[in-house]
Structure 1
Amino acid sequence: MEPVFSFPVLLPRGVGSLTQALHQQLRAAILDGRLPPHAALPATRKVAEALGVARNTVVAAYDLLIAEGYVVPRQGARPQVAEFARRRSKPARAGVDASRFAPAWRTPFLQPSPARSLPERNFRLGIPDHRHFPHEVWRRLMAQTLRRSARESFAYAPSQGIPALREAIAQHVAFARAVACSADDVIVTSGAQQAFDLIARLLVTPGQTKVAVEEPGYPPVRAAFAAAGARLVPLPVDDEGLCVERLPEDVRIISVTPSHQSPTGVAMSLRRRAALLDFARRHHAVIVEDDYDGEFRFGGRPLDALQTLDRDAQVFYVGTFSKSMFPSLRKGFVVAPAWARSGLVTVKHCVDSHCDGITQAALAAFIRDGHLARHVRHMRPIYAARREALLDGLQRGLGEWLQPIPSEAGLHLAARLRDPAQASKLMPVVLRAAAGAEATAEYAMTRNIEPAVTFGYGVIDAADISAALAGLRRSLRKL
């Protein structure tokens, strides 16, 4: 039989309301323009015969369209589609109408990174190795959590995180980083990025609060404070970390990565840490300490965290499980001073009432039962071997062009160009040969920084590192 409509109409058989299904599909066709204005609807008898339904079903669907104003009845003639502004399948104008955005978002300061085509083993930053993760343990804990928490999973978890996870995190950071805190001090977040966002929302007065950030530094941190309306003050970084002596007196928030600077990899010296804490005390400022991969340490005893040295309740300690476990877990935390806890919980409740309880419970068990500590111990020598291969290749094969920047922690290592004047010539060759590596200029607000390149070794084996650097050496020799 010849179809009565120019588009397919699919009606349920045996279940549901035929009238409702037909009405919804015809309404969607009108809104999308498949039934244009002034088009006459087919006769109800003909539609009923074509679709194999009762005529009353079609009459009822037409009546609903008439009642809603989508169709206009006509005396002695078939009803026709009404004239009105229908929705469009394509935007009326190309591009983005940024005038409708809030002022802070009219100039993008952090775009999602475009997908890059990289080989499986590459120098990409910030990604841990999935091959050595105890997947079977994690699956078992997730399954146990689902079985045990059938009732709880249908309830809202506390905004600050479930008690079991906050207790586990407090014990973990005390053991791994000597951060003294209790479960009450911990607020669970959806990754470190949300932690920065919550702190910025709580402490920044738009257009007034000055926030010092590292230059170069981690772009998502800058984005969180910029989105809150902060006035950013970029401060240089050298081999001792943030140049504290350059801090303006009216800065009220200082964001730092003291254990393993992002992206240069340097550790803030004890002298600078003491000076930073003293500055914050004297100028009534706060410090946001981002310790994103401090569990992986390859040198001697790590320097104490700023939070450990803090005696004036001025440090917000931010951590994440993206590097020690995996990024899609989306779990981070803030160890907050007592005076700020209730405010942070209130902000968290407003913007994201709670993190999901299932993965929180599984993560709590993973930490509590010692799996996280065992996994970190297992991965430390693996990453150490890769770091040694990277250092060896940079020093022995590429020392003519690159100088490694001192670093004893984390999952990446940077090297500066020995001849900055050759940056425009050398950098494209380095980034092409070392797939996934990044120029530190990509982490800077300005371009007035010494040229350097950062290599990640989270997902690349030592042998692949040596082979890639040998290829880089050959490419540079050709220049």
Structure 2
Amino acid sequence: MDLHISLEGRGDRTDRIYRQVRDAILDGRLRAGERVPPSRDLARSLAVSRNTVAAAYDRLVGDGFLRGRAGAGTFVAMPPSAAGSRRAPVGALLPSARWAATAAELARLPPVPPARFDLRPGHPDGTLFPLATWRRLLARSLRGSPDYGDPAGLEPLRAAIARSVGLSRSVRASPADVIVTHGAQQGLDLIGRVLIEPGTVVAVEEPGYRPARLAFEALGAKVVPVPVDASGLVVEALPRSARLVYVTPSHQYPLGVPMSLARRAALLAWAERHGAAIAEDDYDSEFRYSDRPLEPLQSLDRAGRVVYVGSFAKTLLPALRLGFLVPPASLRPALLAAKRLVDWHVEPAAQAALADFIDEGLLRRHVRTVTRVYAARHDLVTAAARGVLADRFTLVPSSAGLHVTLLAAAHVDVPGVVARLRAAGVALEGLADFHAGPFAASAATPDGLVVGYGTVTAADLPAALELLDRVSRPLG
């Protein structure tokens, strides 16, 4: 293997070779059992005598860092447990105040240990993904991938997305209107980059999607939480100074309520009246189990106020990191400039494979298949909420998505329930975790549980729900 050693400057060359090989072992760059370059080859690459390198190797063998094998070469002898974690100096460089605050808030999020049952929201079942089909499409697309792609995305994929969301969600879009992103989160970041100046007021739902709030705050926004009721975001509570409103109208995250048509019309009128933009996150609208889906804000918008944010993280796999924006024409040049500067483009082979996946009808077929699977799981959770759990929790009606929310009765200790469930092997999130600031449960804003069913099979859900039932009963 190649080993970088610098002999620039003054000093004993044998000692410098010794110290740099030793440091590579201590740093973990050279691992136990790896073969170091033969002394003859290293001497040639460093333009020194072989005796100089051999003397350094002899010292390393004597100190236990290396060992020789007759006829095989010289190898690292130090086991990984003996190597120290030698890091680069901490240094005096500090991030900006808002990024330091963002890092601190993210660091406070509790780690989720491996769980027998993962009932967290927003996690689809990866075992349902047609991996063999995707592998075939990806292999085919790799043979024709360009070196660099268009920041807006490959034209065939943009055309496929425009057709798909036009049919399934009545989104008004041509291929030129679509910008392909690394998931919805990058879409929100791009929106923030082109609309937010330091101090810009951004309104978000409360409770709501924490990563969106953090992204806007990190870009310098003053984020204002706005309450949500049974009809969605309370438009009357929006601050007059807000210049961007982030909403999840089709399936509010995390409560699950859809925004009523009257409330949608009120929000659009408010945005036009106050010169504000609306970021519409349509994050899992594909999975519906009853009722006709309401039209997205984007299809009702006649003033060019809505940026539609879509993602394939739930329908396909989060690991693919594929999403898209449909912005009004007035924002498209700035969004493309931001996309070019941030990462240039999304990986072309994955884009081409997704275009084929959509055009060949495979996405539509996959969504139909997994919707039936998720519907069965949805029914199990809602039946338990209306049955054995009904004395402690009230189900928030929801007919879409990969989770439901259960509002807790006043006597239920939700943080205690979440902690005991995690100890029992059930990963679950409390509703308080979706509030922006300090949360105190009350009759007006009760605490609760956000129960995801994306990754737990219908065969395993009864056992998970039985644990929830047992753990949430009053102690004693």
- TM-score norm. by structure 2 comes to 0.81
Measure, in 2, the Cα distance between the counterparts of 1:377 and 1:395.
27
Q: Give the share of equivalent positions with the same residue, in percent.
A: 41
| Residue 459 of structure 1, aligned match among 442, 446, 455 | 455
Q: Structure 1 regions of 5+ residues with no counterpart?
A: 1-9, 13-19, 36-49, 66-87
Tell me the equivalent position of 2:96.
Answer: 102
Cα RMSD (Å): 2.9
Judging changes above 3 Å, is the alpha-carbon distance between structure 1 residues 29 and 163 closer, same or farther for their aligned structure 2 residues?
farther
1:156 aligns with 2:148: yes
Cα deviation, 1:289-322, whole Å, max 9, x if unaligned, reads 0011110011210111000111110000001000
| Residue 210 of structure 1, aligned match among 201, 204, 209 | 201
Tell me the equivalent position of 1:339.
Answer: 330
Question: SS of 2:269's equivalent?
Answer: helix
Judging changes above 3 Å, is the alpha-carbon distance between structure 1 residues 215 and 11 closer, same or farther for their aligned structure 2 residues?
closer
Measure, in 2, the Cα distance between the counterparts of 1:468 and 1:243.
34
Tell me the equivalent position of 2:185.
Answer: 193
More displaced stretch, 99-108 vs 456-465: 99-108
Question: What's the offset of the Cα at 1:206?
Answer: 1.0
Measure, in 1, the Cα distance between the counterparts of 2:96 and 2:416.
40
**Structure possessing the higher radius of gyration over alpha carbons:** 1
CA contact (8 A) 1:288 1:317 kept: yes
| Residue 172 of structure 1, aligned match among 147, 154, 164 | 164
Judging changes above 3 Å, is the alpha-carbon distance between structure 1 residues 239 and 433 closer, same or farther for their aligned structure 2 residues?
farther
Measure, in 2, the Cα distance between the counterparts of 1:300 and 1:59.
73
Judging changes above 3 Å, is the alpha-carbon distance between structure 1 residues 22 and 103 closer, same or farther for their aligned structure 2 residues?
closer
Cα deviation, 1:10-53, whole Å, max 9, x if unaligned, reads 889xxxxxxx8795997675568869xxxxxxxxxxxxxx9457
- TM-score norm. by structure 1 comes to 0.80
Measure, in 2, the Cα distance between the counterparts of 1:443 and 1:289.
18
The one-letter code of the counterpart of 2:113 is S
- Where do 4+ consecutive residues of structure 1 move more than 6 Å? none
Question: What's the offset of the Cα at 1:223?
Answer: 1.5
Judging changes above 3 Å, is the alpha-carbon distance between structure 1 residues 128 and 58 closer, same or farther for their aligned structure 2 residues?
closer
Question: What's the offset of the Cα at 1:475?
Answer: 2.9
The one-letter code of the counterpart of 2:135 is R
Measure, in 1, the Cα distance between the counterparts of 2:42 and 2:229.
80
Measure, in 1, the Cα distance between the counterparts of 2:277 and 2:247.
11
CA contact (8 A) 1:186 1:336 kept: yes
Cα deviation, 1:103-129, whole Å, max 9, x if unaligned, reads 221212652766533335421221211
1:382 aligns with 2:377: no
Judging changes above 3 Å, is the alpha-carbon distance between structure 1 residues 430 and 352 closer, same or farther for their aligned structure 2 residues?
same
Size of the alignment, in residue pairs?
A: 417
Question: SS of 2:337's equivalent?
Answer: helix
More displaced stretch, 127-136 vs 365-374: 127-136
Judging changes above 3 Å, is the alpha-carbon distance between structure 1 residues 91 and 369 closer, same or farther for their aligned structure 2 residues?
same
Question: SS of 2:102's equivalent?
Answer: coil
More displaced stretch, 309-318 vs 267-276: 267-276
Question: SS of 1:61's equivalent?
Answer: coil
Tell me the equivalent position of 1:238.
Answer: 229
Measure, in 1, the Cα distance between the counterparts of 2:397 and 2:39.
75
Question: What's the offset of the Cα at 1:460?
Answer: 0.9
Tell me the equivalent position of 2:106.
Answer: 111
Tell me the equivalent position of 2:118.
Answer: 122
Question: What's the offset of the Cα at 1:271?
Answer: 1.6
Question: What's the offset of the Cα at 1:423?
Answer: 4.0
The one-letter code of the counterpart of 1:233 is V
1:306 aligns with 2:300: no
Measure, in 1, the Cα distance between the counterparts of 2:415 and 2:39.
68
1:450 aligns with 2:446: yes
Tell me the equivalent position of 1:278.
Answer: 269
Judging changes above 3 Å, is the alpha-carbon distance between structure 1 residues 59 and 329 closer, same or farther for their aligned structure 2 residues?
closer
Measure, in 2, the Cα distance between the counterparts of 1:256 and 1:294.
13
Judging changes above 3 Å, is the alpha-carbon distance between structure 1 residues 102 and 370 closer, same or farther for their aligned structure 2 residues?
same
1:469 aligns with 2:465: yes
Q: Structure 2 regions of 5+ residues with no counterpart?
A: 25-37, 53-84
CA contact (8 A) 1:187 1:334 kept: yes
CA contact (8 A) 1:420 1:450 kept: no
Question: SS of 2:148's equivalent?
Answer: coil
Judging changes above 3 Å, is the alpha-carbon distance between structure 1 residues 29 and 385 closer, same or farther for their aligned structure 2 residues?
same
